[in-house]
Structure formats: structure tokens, C-alpha cells
């Protein structure tokens, strides 16, 4: 199937049932992340930036959980940055990145702009666009990994997913669509990801830049701007990334994060969660030392004494210490006053992180860690080699995913508002329009 035919002819109701479940679950997951991030400093700063620099013109949409009206370009910047600011969104192995934190905020902005112009968009049509955006964004990520040596941030490829999903919402003709793909790839933010791992900041995984690049490409193509061919789509070298489009679903390989920290830290947290359940003597006051053996990229996280929320979420030692000290890792453990909390820092000082060659050899196909905890009574407890909870073969249940949604969203919203959002997503496929969900997501 050609890419354009896939974009224009896919219907959500015809997608396999399990894939539909994953799309709806991914949508709710990203909404929960943005809800949990609503009041953090990155979101406040980027929403003010968007309101100041991208005022609504003939195109107008609302900022997520903010209600101020801006141009969709500004909303894309803000939504992507906000989703990226709480590192709890789903991801994907072979692209080594994430699509949802780019495509969901961008498509919400674009669809809200369409609604502002008087056009109704059904829930099935919006979910079709989201499915297209996820699937094509992830495939573009795999193609980029196959053709570019450097490890790039997710915004480098996910903007192409925005173009594909957005082209469906806008009803673009094939010529415009091809130009939009070329523009999005040409201006795509090929940011060096390991620089952010080593020096964390609000820039994160470039989801804001990817969302902006995708919306910008759509608007430029509509204005008659031409683009060079998108190599990660059109080049014969990567045809294997696209030739089974509509037959195999890349989104089926996504993972979900139980905790709002870097994916590379999650195997260690999974290991310690299991150890704490098995050994009740593992409590903060009983611990002498903690040794984490992990793969090279995870070892580079370190992060014992973060200076801010970005460093805390791109660290390993600090969130692991928070888990042991407080029994959970949510927004309140990796943002705000928790960054200087002595109960967490006291445990973080005890953590040593080393590279294990056997685990490095299995990356990136597998992300694994092994943890040993020395207790003050002289005993030593070691986990098995552990993969992260939330992988396709260690999947989180629907109950666990909804508990995560509630944990994230409850930082800023009431249980009543949370329940309404869950219900609106559950009923979206049958909804004649998206107004109920959008009004819940756009109001403060």
C-alpha cells in the first residue's frame, strides 16, 4: 500500500482490535503525562512563550489545560515540550525513541484549529489520524536509525508522523502531502540525544521541535512551498521500513513506562520493585549500599544529586532512591521540592552504578539491569537480570495503566475531572465529534 493511500484510506474501525486498544491506551497515556506536567516549570515557561510569540490569527487553537488561544504552531511547541517535561510517555525500541509525545499534542492542536473554523471531527476520524501518525512516525524513526549513524532525538523523525496524521485531518492532495513530508524531514530537528543524556535540560527529546516541524510543514505545503523528497520515506535503501504498511503494526511493539524517568533507568526500578515485594527487610533505614549493574547507556545516566527536575528524570540513582525511600515514583518524587529532599538524597548517596559488559552486549535489542542491595546486617540480596516492566512481553495491565494515569493527573486535577477524561477517551471511537474530550483537555 502506498503511504498516501494509507493516510487517506485508513479507518480506525478496520484496524486490528489489539492495535486499536494500544492506540487508545497511548492517547490516554500521553494525556495523563501532560496533565501531570501542567504545573511544572517547563510547561509554565513554554505556554507563556507560545502565548507571547504565537498569538492566534486566522488559525486559532487552545493550549492544553490552559485555555489561552494561540496559533497551532505555538500550541505544537507548547504541547510537545509539556509532554516531554515529565518523562513518563510510551516509547519504541527499534526507533530508539517516542512518537506520542510529538504527534498527540500536534494533532490535538490541529484538530482544535479545525473545530475553531466550524468543522466537526468525529472521534473515529481523530483516532484514525492518531493511528496514522503513530504508525508512520515510528516507521520514520526506524528508517532514520537505519540510515543515520548518530543517535538522534525523537523529534528528528516524529514530525513526519504529524504530517501524515495532519494530512488526513486536512484532506491534503498527494502533491501537497509529498511536499509536506519533504519539508518536515528537511527541517526536522536532528538533535544529538546523548548530549541531553549527559547534560539534561528542558530541551529533552525534542518533541516540541518535532511537533512544530510537522505543523509548520503542513501549513507551508498548503501555502505552496515545495519540499525535497523525504529520504526516510522515499529512498530505496529503507523500503523494508514501509513495504508492509497496513499489514504489520509498528505500534504493537511500543512499551509503556510505569515511572516518569528515562527508559534506561526503568529496568533497575523494576528490579528493585520486585526485590522490595519479595524482601520486606529492604527499607531505607536497613540499607548499607546499592550496586546497579547495567548497560553502558544506562550507566551514563548516573544522576545522584540532580539540580533540577530534568536531571532527576534523566538520572538513575535519584529515582531509584525515591522508589526505596517513598515507595513510589510519580511527579511529586522527581519535580519541585523533592529534588532537595534529604530522605531521597540519603539513599542516593549509597548507589553505585557500573557497566556490565554482558548487559551492554544485549543492548539495544534488550534493556536490562541487575541490582544488588547490601543490608546493614551484612546480608546481600541480588535481583535476577531484569527487563523493564511495560515492555510488550512484560505488559502493564489496563488497571495498572489507569492507576498510572490517576497518579500523574491527580497532581493537578480532581478525581471527578480524571474520571471524565478516562470516560471521554473510552467513548471517543463512537463520538460524533470530539468536543467533550477537547473541552476537558483545553480548559484549565
Sorted by sequence, the CB contacts under 8 Å of residue 317 that are 6+ apart come out as 292, 302, 303, 304, 348, 351, 353
Last residue of a domain, one of 389, 414, 429: 389
* CATH number, domain with residue 154: 1.10.4100.10
Q: Give the per-residue pLDDT at 405.
A: 97
- Clarify whether residues 225 and 93 are in a common domain: yes
| Residue 327 falls inside a structural domain | yes
Q: Give the per-residue pLDDT at 200.
A: 86
339-363 pLDDT, tens digit per residue, is 999 999 999 999 999 999 999 999 8
- Clarify whether residues 203 and 299 are in a common domain: no
Provide mean pLDDT across the span 167-176. Answer: 97
3-state secondary structure (DSSP) of residue 328: coil
Q: Give the per-residue pLDDT at 237.
A: 84
- Taking the C-alpha atoms of residue 94 and residue 143, their distance in angstroms, rounded to an integer, is 9
| Residue 99 falls inside a structural domain | yes
| Residue 394 falls inside a structural domain | no
Extended beta strands in 275-360, E state = 287-294, 351-355
- Clarify whether residues 285 and 167 are in a common domain: no
Q: Give the per-residue pLDDT at 68.
A: 97
H/E stretch holding 82 reads helix 72-85
Q: What is the mean pLDDT of the chain?
A: 95
- Clarify whether residues 230 and 345 are in a common domain: no
Task: Answer whether residue 151 shows pLDDT above 90.
Answer: no
- Clarify whether residues 247 and 314 are in a common domain: no
Task: Answer whether residue 234 shows pLDDT above 90.
Answer: no
Q: Give the per-residue pLDDT at 93.
A: 82
CA distances from 313 to 309, 316, 334, 338, 344 (A): 6, 8, 6, 12, 14
3-state secondary structure (DSSP) of residue 137: helix
CA distances from 49 to 52, 73, 82, 428 (A): 5, 12, 12, 31
317-340 pLDDT, tens digit per residue, is 999 999 999 999 999 999 989 999
Sorted by sequence, the CB contacts under 8 Å of residue 120 that are 6+ apart come out as 432, 433
- Clarify whether residues 221 and 116 are in a common domain: yes
State the SS3 of 204-218. CCCHHHHHHHHHHHH
73-124 pLDDT, tens digit per residue, is 999 999 999 999 999 999 998 888 899 999 999 999 999 999 999 999 999 9
Backbone φ and ψ of 292, nearest 5°? -105, 120
pLDDT band at 146 (very low <50, low <70, confident <90, very high): confident
119-145 pLDDT, tens digit per residue, is 999 999 999 999 999 999 999 999 998
Give which of 290, 314, 291 is closest to 302, Cα–Cα: 314
| Residue 66 falls inside a structural domain | yes
- Clarify whether residues 188 and 332 are in a common domain: no
* CATH number, domain with residue 341: 3.30.1330.120
pLDDT band at 225 (very low <50, low <70, confident <90, very high): very high
- Clarify whether residues 385 and 408 are in a common domain: no
Provide mean pLDDT across the span 46-70. Answer: 97
- Clarify whether residues 13 and 100 are in a common domain: yes
- Clarify whether residues 209 and 341 are in a common domain: no
- Clarify whether residues 185 and 57 are in a common domain: yes
pLDDT band at 238 (very low <50, low <70, confident <90, very high): confident
| Residue 70 falls inside a structural domain | yes
Q: Which domain holds residue 413?
A: 3-257+399-442
| Residue 420 falls inside a structural domain | yes
- Taking the C-alpha atoms of residue 157 and residue 144, their distance in angstroms, rounded to an integer, is 7
pLDDT band at 14 (very low <50, low <70, confident <90, very high): very high
Number of domains, the chain = 2
CA distances from 101 to 141, 209, 232, 358, 365 (A): 14, 11, 20, 32, 22
| Grid cell in block for residue 298 | 544506562
Provide mean pLDDT across the span 411-431. Answer: 97
| Grid cell in block for residue 143 | 528508517
| Residue 127 falls inside a structural domain | yes
| Residue 212 falls inside a structural domain | yes
Q: Quick count: other Cβ atoms within 10 Å of Cβ 102?
A: 38
Task: Answer whether residue 1 shows pLDDT above 80.
Answer: no
- Clarify whether residues 337 and 281 are in a common domain: yes
Q: Give the per-residue pLDDT at 419.
A: 98
Sorted by sequence, the CB contacts under 8 Å of residue 322 that are 6+ apart come out as 328, 329, 333, 334, 338, 344
- Taking the C-alpha atoms of residue 342 and residue 339, their distance in angstroms, rounded to an integer, is 9
- Taking the C-alpha atoms of residue 220 and residue 362, their distance in angstroms, rounded to an integer, is 43
Amino acid at each position: 500500500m502506498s503511504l498516501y493511500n494509507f493516510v487517506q484510506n485508513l479507518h480506525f474501525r478496520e484496524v486490528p482490535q489489539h492495535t486499536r486498544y494500544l492506540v487508545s491506551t497511548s492517547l490516554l497515556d500521553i494525556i495523563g503525562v501532560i496533565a501531570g506536567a501542567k504545573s511544572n516549570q517547563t510547561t509554565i515557561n513554554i505556554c507563556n512563550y507560545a502565548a507571547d510569540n504565537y498569538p492566534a490569527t486566522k488559525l486559532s487553537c487552545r493550549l492544553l489545560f490552559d485555555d489561552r488561544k494561540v496559533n497551532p504552531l505555538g500550541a505544537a511547541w507548547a504541547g510537545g515540550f509539556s509532554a516531554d517535561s515529565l518523562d513518563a510517555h510510551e516509547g519504541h525500541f527499534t526507533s530508539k525513541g517516542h512518537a506520542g509525545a510529538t504527534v498527540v499534542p500536534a494533532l490535538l492542536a490541529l484538530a482544535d484549529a479545525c473545530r475553531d473554523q466550524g468543522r466537526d471531527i468525529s472521534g473515529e476520524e481523530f483516532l484514525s489520524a492518531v493511528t496514522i501518525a503513530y504508525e508512520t512516525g515510528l516507521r520514520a524513526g526506524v528508517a532514520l536509525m537505519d540510515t543515520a549513524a548518530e543517535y538522534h532525538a525523537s523529534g528528528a523523525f516524529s514530525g513526519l508522523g504529524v504530517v501524515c496524521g495532519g494530512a488526513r485531518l486536512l484532506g491534503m492532495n498527494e502533491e501537497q502531502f509529498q511536499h509536506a513530508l519533504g519539508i518536515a524531514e528537511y527541517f526536522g530537528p536532528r538533535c544529538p540525544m546523548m548530549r541531553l543524556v549527559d547534560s539534561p535540560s528542558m530541551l529533552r527529546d525534542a518533541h516540541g521541535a518535532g511537533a512544530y516541524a510537522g505543523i509548520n510543514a503542513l501549513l507551508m505545503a498548503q501555502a505552496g512551498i515545495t519540499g525535497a523528497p523525504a529520504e526516510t520515506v522515499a529512498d530505496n535503501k529503507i523500503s523494508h521500513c514501509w513495504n508492509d504498511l497496513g499489514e504489520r503494526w509498528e505500534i504493537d511493539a511500543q512499551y509503556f513506562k510505569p515511572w516518569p524517568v528515562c527508559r534506561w533507568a526503568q529496568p533497575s526500578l523494576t528490579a528493585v520493585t520486585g526485590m522490595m515485594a519479595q524482601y520486606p527487610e529492604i527499607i531505607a533505614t536497613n540499607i548499607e549500599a546499592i550496586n546497579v549493574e547495567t548497560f553502558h547507556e544506562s550507566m551514563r545516566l548516573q544522576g545522584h544529586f540532580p539540580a533540577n527536575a530534568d536531571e532527576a528524570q534523566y538520572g538513575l540513582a535519584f529515582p531509584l532512591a525515591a522508589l526505596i525511600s517513598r515507595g513510589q515514583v510519580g511527579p511529586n518524587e522527581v519535580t519541585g521540592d523533592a529534588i532537595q529532599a534529604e530522605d531521597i538524597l540519603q539513599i542516593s548517596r549509597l548507589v553505585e552504578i557500573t557497566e556490565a559488559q554482558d548487559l551492554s552486549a544485549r543492548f539495544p535489542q534488550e534493556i536490562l539491569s541487575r541490582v544488588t542491595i547490601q543490608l546493614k546486617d551484612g546480608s546481600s540480596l541480588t535481583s535476577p537480570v531484569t527487563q523493564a516492566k511495560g515492555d510488550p512481553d512484560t505488559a502493564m495491565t489496563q488497571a495498572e495503566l489507569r492507576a498510572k494515569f490517576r497518579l500523574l493527573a491527580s497532581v493537578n486535577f480532581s478525581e471527578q475531572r480524571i474520571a471524565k477524561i478516562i470516560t471521554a477517551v473510552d467513548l471517543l471511537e463512537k463520538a460524533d465529534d470530539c468536543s467533550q474530550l477537547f473541552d476537558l483537555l483545553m480548559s484549565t
